[in-house]
Amino acid sequence: MDILDGVSISELKIIPHPKGKIMHALKKSDINFEGFGEAYFSEILHGEIKGWKKHQQMVLNIVVPQGEIKFVLFDSREKSSTNGKFFSVLLGNNNYCRLTVPPGIWMAFQGVGNSINLLLNLASIEHHPQEAENRDLDFFKYKW
């Protein structure tokens, strides 16, 4: 499954420390940095699925510092070279990366880890309810 046009996955640095590791997330100098609007954490329980959501303006920069979360993206942008395609990635303890999602991409995610599954979104703009579109899980034919 190829990555969608405009979506990127960036390897992140983990610095070991005897009292607890340091995990990078996003720097102003990173190529994918589009500005800062807000940061929030979202927890998802094992086996639960949240989504579908599509932002019109917000760029998402997602990291999973604890647990494991499967992200599924769908490209419905008419002029995109990957229009009509899905992409999935598992982020977390064994794959600590940043997932950058541009506006116009649908996203849903599932808690895979057996304990706490926690994501951090470093969003390019502040949340505005009218800026995002939500759909039920059965809106797209994706087999979880």
pLDDT tens-place string over residues 91-107: 998 999 999 999 999 99
pLDDT tens-place string over residues 53-72: 999 999 999 999 999 999 99
In a domain, 138, yes or no: no
Q: What is the mean pLDDT of residues 72-91?
A: 97
Q: Provide the pLDDT for residue 1.
A: 66
* CATH number of the CATH domain containing 91: 2.60.120.10
Q: Provide the pLDDT for residue 120.
A: 98
In a domain, 109, yes or no: yes
pLDDT tens-place string over residues 102-143: 999 999 999 999 999 999 999 999 999 899 999 999 999 999
In a domain, 75, yes or no: yes
In a domain, 115, yes or no: yes
In a domain, 36, yes or no: yes
Dihedrals φ, ψ of 67, to 5°? 85, -160
The total of structural domains in the chain comes to: 1
pLDDT tens-place string over residues 13-52: 999 999 999 999 999 999 889 999 999 999 999 999 999 9
In a domain, 95, yes or no: yes
Helices then strands, counting H and E runs in the chain, come out as 0, 12
Q: For tokens 């794959």, what's the residue? A: 95
Domain that holds residue 39: 8-129
**pLDDT of residue 2 exceeding 90:** no
